[in-house]
Chain A
Amino acid sequence: MFNFVLKRLAIAIPTILILIVLSFMLMFAAPGGPFNSERPLPPQVLANLEARYGLDQPYWKQMSDYVVNVVTRFDFGPSFQYRDRTVTDVIMQGFPVTLTYGFWSFVVAVIVGVSLGVVAAIKHNTWLDYVAVGISVGAQVLPNFVMAPILVLVFTLWLGWLPGGGWQGGQWQYLILPVIALSTSYMASIARITRSSMLEVLNAGFIRTARAKGLPTWRIILGHALKPAMLPVLSYLGPAFVLMITGSVVIDVYFSTGGIGQFFVNSAFSRDYAVIMGITILVGVLTILFNLVVDVLYAWIDPKIRY
């Protein structure tokens, strides 16, 4: 196991380097630049700006300087768009926000999703099953960009219970709507995966044996069925978790949370190369990390899996 983790971490380094090179190539291939605007800058002003940010260097030099700075000094450079901030500032400010609402959305999605799935599987083909499936299908077809405005309309404008956006350092009132909007579709997927996998496990031989032993149903479910039924759910949860904590543009845009998703999209539109790279690397590293965590959990859940 230890060797496996080490090996995976070793593979991660070239993976991230390839990610950097590819992102750089795509960035430079996109037309325009960080200092293009409706009002083209006088050539001399543009030259001063490019010199200031090192954009007058050849591509390979910009790329290698970048990698050296990141590796040796953990320096992701200054943002081109926001002059008084570095990329590290942008990430340090936006990531905790996204991490907070992403984490709670994950918790809600897993708890509600798994519960719905398990109930639906146990009460297969009863009204409870239909209700659970109905909820999850409904949640699945309501994307968050539809959910978000509806939630604000109902809870902010009509009922006046919750603020329609903002973050205020993550006070609970500001968390509720983003968490609901972000978690629903994940919850729906989790419920569906749990249900089908649970159904399969419940028909397995060892469950029949457990039933024959006369074990109570709740012990069969919690003690024997749930763990193996979670395998497919788990492989879904790894990437889903990364997606949730690295920010949903829709949530950031509708709820003005100041999360990292909004910075990511804005930086792409304004060609803020440094911020694009910084967030790409962050997402890349987190993806690699959580895929590894999922693989390790696999081995724990399923004794058949050995590394």
Chain B
Amino acid sequence: MTLKTLLKASSAFVLLSAAAANAQATHPETGETLAEVQTFTYRVLDEHSSVDPQVVEDVTGSDIVRDLFEGLMNQNAAGELVPGVATGFEMSEDGLNYTFTLRDNARWSNGDPVLASDFVYAWKRAVDPELASEYAWFMELMSIENAAAIIAGEMDKEELGVAAPDDSTFVVTLSQPLPYFAQMTTHSTTFPVHPATVEEFGSEWTRPENIVSNGAYVLREHVPQERLVRVRNENYWDNENTIIDEVTSLVINDVNQSLTRYLAGELDRTETPPGQFPRLAQEYPDQAVSIPRLCSYYYNFNLSEGGPEALQDVRVRQALSLAVNRDVIVNNVLASGQTAAYNFTPVRTADFELPDIPAASMSQEERNAMAVELITEAGYGIGGEPLSIELLYNTDEAHRNVAVAMSQMWQQTLGIQTTLANQEWQTFLQTRGNQNFEMARGAWCGDYNEASTFLDLVTTNSGYNDAKYSNAEVDQLMADAKTAEDPQPNYTRVEQIIAEEMPIIPIYHYADGYMFNPELKGWPVDNVEQNWYSRELYKVAGE
């Protein structure tokens, strides 16, 4: 055989085997031809806090933890509850007991079976004052019996309302019925850990050389501030249906740099730089995607005793809110798919019905006319007492643009002077938390997909109520909603009260602009919490 024929023969063989591999590799459900290399590389803004399920506190970290670990329940692409390690659960009639049945083929990455006692261990760990998890509050929010007392150090962690009567049954006892309890088990704080590994390595158990996990992926490499690589977990119970073999997250602080590297083919997903989404969507219509988020952007009025006198007048607050042209802010200032907000809870929140809020259905001219009327009535604005307001926000280009737009709208429509003040994040939090502001930016993302995660903020005792708004009716409505069979009427009423009394100005509901590799499929665009799992993604072969 001459060299030439050898080359021919071998290249024919390569072609044939490639064809054979391709012929096999189709997606089991859609039948699309899969790409040969199944990797997913994406940009993260910052280094994650931890990959320890009970310690992780940021979105970036939670995304990784959802790949490495699996909790009782998962979410599907629409955000609905689907089985995870548990095949299902039963709720007692009084709504105080949940019994989860665990699947018998769930395995840790070292081959050990995933036991109900692993969940018991993890949940007790989450409330353990010794671990001092920043997400201990989440367990308290889940209303698990004795969680609050254990966190406060008044009770031993062994008293937590969780039990494992046998290896495949996990029972939770609540202190009060909680309609959305099962939804909360998709959160990373509730994921199991491998007790023997945690005990052996202590705080170093999450390092690649030590970690034992039960998710679809295992941690292979972690270079802080640079990259984290996870690869398929051969022991995962549903490993045969996992398509992506390797997932890499790269820390890229600068979003413009990230976009350049995406365009150079180094990444499969990146956020888009502020203001660039419209251009990118036009240039790359198959790649630019706007994903709505369960988050609200708003401004707090300082309603505490030290707050400015003018802002105690509800007519002034109404006028300020009405004069903000939200359409200009979402379509011209931000322009990556955000939606104008006239109420607090994002409309996509599960089971939430948008209440009837008059301002929402008016035209901006009508709103402006009404705003002028109200401010004149209150004795401020053009011809009235001069009014100057300071807007406080944390240093960020996008926040500044919104504040500038708002101050111009107020100046033009109401004749109100505005000064802008920006502060570095930590300083801002302290200033706002101490009510040393007139109006301050606020943003809130739902902890779970239910309206109370938003509306609890305006209750008197909420730690996040920076406006220091207090209304006994709101407090009562929200307290009743916790146990009501149908809490929606309560939420509707609370939203209406907010619209009437205006302790905060809702500005917009979030959406994030992304670029996605067109070959990457399976992204759960409709999951408003953006709880995505790499095992559901796949890459199709390019043409």
Are A and B physically bound partners? Answer: yes
Select A31's contact among B46, B257, B427, B463, beta carbons within 8 Å: B427
Q: Bound complex: CA of A11 vs CA of B134, how far in Å?
A: 43
**A residues less than 8 Å from B430 (CB atoms):** 31-32, 36
Q: Which residue, of B132, B227, B431, has the highest number of chain A Cβ atoms within 10 A?
A: B132
Task: Give chain A nearest CB distance to B52 CB in angstroms.
Answer: 7
Residue of B nearest to A257 (CB): B226
The answer to whether A84 and B426 have CB atoms under 8 Å apart is no
Q: Bound complex: CA of A83 vs CA of B57, how far in Å?
A: 11
**B residues less than 8 Å from A90 (CB atoms):** 224
**B residues less than 8 Å from A258 (CB atoms):** 223-227, 251
Q: Bound complex: CA of A268 vs CA of B475, how far in Å?
A: 39
Find residues 170-222 in chain B having any chain A CB closer than 8 Å to their own CB: 203-207
Select B260's contact among A49, A93, A152, A263, beta carbons within 8 Å: A152
Q: Bound complex: CA of A78 vs CA of B424, how far in Å?
A: 25
Q: Bound complex: CA of A44 vs CA of B47, how far in Å?
A: 27
The answer to whether B46 and A82 have CB atoms under 8 Å apart is no
List the 3 closest A-B pairs by CB distance, nearest first. Answer: A32-B426, A258-B226, A48-B132
**B residues less than 8 Å from A142 (CB atoms):** none
Is B335's CB within 8 Å of the partner chain A? no
The answer to whether A157 and B137 have CB atoms under 8 Å apart is no
Q: Bound complex: CA of A41 vs CA of B263, how far in Å?
A: 40
Q: Bound complex: CA of A94 vs CA of B224, how far in Å?
A: 8
Task: Give chain B nearest CB distance to A90 CB in angstroms.
Answer: 7
The answer to whether A166 and B132 have CB atoms under 8 Å apart is no
Is B3's CB within 8 Å of the partner chain A? no
The answer to whether B257 and A149 have CB atoms under 8 Å apart is yes
Select A36's contact among B47, B57, B137, B429, beta carbons within 8 Å: B429
The answer to whether A82 and B250 have CB atoms under 8 Å apart is no
Select A82's contact among B137, B224, B227, beta carbons within 8 Å: B224
The answer to whether A253 and B254 have CB atoms under 8 Å apart is yes
Residue of A nearest to B265 (CB): A160
Is B153's CB within 8 Å of the partner chain A? yes
Task: Give chain A nearest CB distance to B328 CB in angstroms.
Answer: 26
Mask, B258-298, CB within 8 Å of A = 1, is 00110110100000000000000000000000000000000
Is B113's CB within 8 Å of the partner chain A? no
- Count of chain A residues near B, Cβ 8 A: 52
The answer to whether B426 and A30 have CB atoms under 8 Å apart is yes
Q: Bound complex: CA of A23 vs CA of B206, how far in Å?
A: 31
Find residues 236-251 in chain B having any chain A CB closer than 8 Å to their own CB: 250-251
The answer to whether B426 and A271 have CB atoms under 8 Å apart is yes
Task: Give chain B nearest CB distance to A55 CB in angstroms.
Answer: 11
Is B252's CB within 8 Å of the partner chain A? yes
**A residues less than 8 Å from B251 (CB atoms):** 256, 258
**B residues less than 8 Å from A270 (CB atoms):** 426
**B residues less than 8 Å from A253 (CB atoms):** 253-254
The answer to whether A165 and B429 have CB atoms under 8 Å apart is no
The answer to whether A256 and B264 have CB atoms under 8 Å apart is no
Is A208's CB within 8 Å of the partner chain B? no
The answer to whether B137 and A42 have CB atoms under 8 Å apart is yes
Find residues 15-67 in chain A having any chain B CB closer than 8 Å to their own CB: 30-33, 35-42, 44-45, 48-49, 51-52
Residue of B nearest to A271 (CB): B426
**B residues less than 8 Å from A157 (CB atoms):** 260, 263-264
Is A153's CB within 8 Å of the partner chain B? yes
Is A262's CB within 8 Å of the partner chain B? yes
Task: Give chain A nearest CB distance to B252 CB in angstroms.
Answer: 5
Task: Give chain A nearest CB distance to B319 CB in angstroms.
Answer: 28
Q: Bound complex: CA of A174 vs CA of B207, how far in Å?
A: 25
Is B129's CB within 8 Å of the partner chain A? yes
**A residues less than 8 Å from B47 (CB atoms):** 82, 266
**A residues less than 8 Å from B263 (CB atoms):** 157
Q: A45-B151, A48-B132, A84-B205 are in contact. List 5 more A-B contacts (CB 8 A).
A: A37-B429, A38-B429, A83-B203, A164-B257, A256-B226
Is B362's CB within 8 Å of the partner chain A? no
Is A252's CB within 8 Å of the partner chain B? yes
- Count of chain B residues near A, Cβ 8 A: 52
Is A88's CB within 8 Å of the partner chain B? no
The answer to whether B152 and A44 have CB atoms under 8 Å apart is yes
The answer to whether A40 and B463 have CB atoms under 8 Å apart is yes
The answer to whether B257 and A254 have CB atoms under 8 Å apart is yes
Residues of A contacting B: mostly: loop
Query: Which B residues are closer than 8 A to A by beta carbons?
Result: 46-47, 49-52, 55, 57, 129-130, 132-134, 136-137, 140, 151-153, 203-207, 223-227, 250-254, 256-257, 260-261, 263-264, 266, 424-427, 429-431, 433, 443, 463-464
The answer to whether B464 and A40 have CB atoms under 8 Å apart is yes
**A residues less than 8 Å from B443 (CB atoms):** 38
The answer to whether A94 and B463 have CB atoms under 8 Å apart is no
The answer to whether A149 and B204 have CB atoms under 8 Å apart is no
Select A84's contact among B57, B204, B223, B424, beta carbons within 8 Å: B204
**B residues less than 8 Å from A166 (CB atoms):** 226-227, 250
Q: Bound complex: CA of A259 vs CA of B253, how far in Å?
A: 13
Residue of A nearest to B430 (CB): A31
Q: Bound complex: CA of A256 vs CA of B260, how far in Å?
A: 13
Task: Give chain A nearest CB distance to B189 CB in angstroms.
Answer: 12
Find residues 257-291 in chain A having any chain B CB closer than 8 Å to their own CB: 257-259, 262-263, 266, 269-271
Residue of A nearest to B259 (CB): A157
Is A85's CB within 8 Å of the partner chain B? yes
Mask, A131-163, CB within 8 Å of B = 1, is 000000000000000001100110011001001
**B residues less than 8 Å from A263 (CB atoms):** 224-225
Select B207's contact among A30, A84, A271, beta carbons within 8 Å: A84
A37-B429, A82-B224, A257-B226 in contact; A164/B260 too (CB < 8 A)? yes
Task: Give chain A nearest CB distance to B228 CB in angstroms.
Answer: 11
Is A100's CB within 8 Å of the partner chain B? no
Q: Bound complex: CA of A208 vs CA of B42, how far in Å?
A: 64
Task: Give chain B nearest CB distance to A96 CB in angstroms.
Answer: 11
Q: Which residue, of A41, A84, A164, A166, has the highest number of chain B Cβ atoms within 10 A?
A: A84
Q: Bound complex: CA of A270 vs CA of B152, how far in Å?
A: 25
Task: Give chain A nearest CB distance to B349 CB in angstroms.
Answer: 18
Is A81's CB within 8 Å of the partner chain B? yes
Q: Bound complex: CA of A31 vs CA of B250, how far in Å?
A: 31
A38-B429, A93-B223 in contact; A45/B50 too (CB < 8 A)? no
Q: Bound complex: CA of A85 vs CA of B222, how far in Å?
A: 12
Residue of A nearest to B443 (CB): A38
Residue of B nearest to A258 (CB): B226
Is A103's CB within 8 Å of the partner chain B? no
The answer to whether A32 and B50 have CB atoms under 8 Å apart is no
The answer to whether B137 and A45 have CB atoms under 8 Å apart is yes
Task: Give chain A nearest CB distance to B490 CB in angstroms.
Answer: 23
The answer to whether A82 and B134 have CB atoms under 8 Å apart is no
The answer to whether B140 and A266 have CB atoms under 8 Å apart is no
A48-B151, A52-B132, A152-B260 in contact; A42/B203 too (CB < 8 A)? no
Q: Bound complex: CA of A157 vs CA of B265, how far in Å?
A: 8
Task: Give chain A nearest CB distance to B498 CB in angstroms.
Answer: 20
Task: Give chain A nearest CB distance to B146 CB in angstroms.
Answer: 14
A45-B134, A83-B203 in contact; A165/B49 too (CB < 8 A)? no
Is A167's CB within 8 Å of the partner chain B? yes
Task: Give chain A nearest CB distance to B502 CB in angstroms.
Answer: 22
Residue of A nearest to B207 (CB): A84
Q: Bound complex: CA of A32 vs CA of B429, how far in Å?
A: 7
A40-B464, A256-B253 in contact; A82/B49 too (CB < 8 A)? yes
Select B50's contact among A31, A42, A82, A160, beta carbons within 8 Å: A82
Q: Bound complex: CA of A32 vs CA of B432, how far in Å?
A: 11
Q: Which residue, of A33, A38, A252, has the highest number of chain B Cβ atoms within 10 A?
A: A38
Q: Bound complex: CA of A90 vs CA of B225, how far in Å?
A: 10
The answer to whether B223 and A164 have CB atoms under 8 Å apart is no
Q: Bound complex: CA of A78 vs CA of B256, how far in Å?
A: 33
Task: Give chain A nearest CB distance to B188 CB in angstroms.
Answer: 14
